[in-house]
Amino acid sequence: MVITVILGVYMIFFESPKQTSAINPEGARELELLNTFITKVAEKTKSGPSKEQAYILNKAQTAWKQDPFVQLETKKVEVDTGPEPVLDARVQYTGFLQMGDKRLAIINGMEYEAGDQLEPGGFIIRRILPNQVVVVPPGKNKKTMILPMEETE
């Protein structure tokens, strides 16, 4: 430990510092590249924007016709499509089967999948759940109706 302390004192006080060059040859090359880059950027800005850039700047400064962040409320227009189809009271959802991803509903003793059309009335099955089936009438009127599961003994 004493030797380390003596060596440290000698290096700090008695050894002369080495002369280092202020300009590093690698640093000079980097400085030259930086100056070239700055010169090119200055030349580009002196010439002004190109036609495309001028067009973009002009369009960016014009006032907007409508604020894109404002939500517009749409008005619903009711169209008379005639009488609404009525689901026959004889339609009974009495069973549910699931095999993997496939779900089946037993309605009036027949098996149906989602997307199938029921025989009476032409209603289309949209969704099959264990306790209910969601059906929609054919055509443009998409008012949904729900068939609850009817437990039979």
- What span, in angstroms and rounded, lies between the C-alpha atoms of 84 and 143? 9
- The two tokens of residue 68 are 């894109």
Closest CA to 136 of 146, 149, 128: 146
Binning pLDDT at 50, 70 and 90, where does residue 18 land?
low
DSSP of 22-55, one letter per residue? SS-HHHHHHHHHHHHHHHHHHHHHHH---HHHHH
- pLDDT exceeds 80 at position 152: no
- pLDDT exceeds 80 at position 15: no
Res 77: pLDDT: 64
Binning pLDDT at 50, 70 and 90, where does residue 113 land?
very high
Res 86: pLDDT: 58
Give the predicted TM-score (pTM) of the model: 0.42
- What span, in angstroms and rounded, lies between the C-alpha atoms of 8 and 10? 5
The residues with which 127 forms a beta bridge, in sequence order, are: 134
* Residue matched to tokens 């010169």: 39
Are 146 and 129 spatial neighbours (Cβ–Cβ below 8 Å)? Answer: no
- What span, in angstroms and rounded, lies between the C-alpha atoms of 141 and 85? 9
- What span, in angstroms and rounded, lies between the C-alpha atoms of 73 and 130? 37
> pLDDT tens, 85-111?
556 667 788 888 888 889 999 888 889
* Largest interatomic CA distance in the chain: 112
> pLDDT tens, 33-82?
888 998 888 887 777 778 888 898 888 888 877 777 777 676 666 655 55
In the chain, domain spans: 93-148
DSSP letter at 106 equals: E
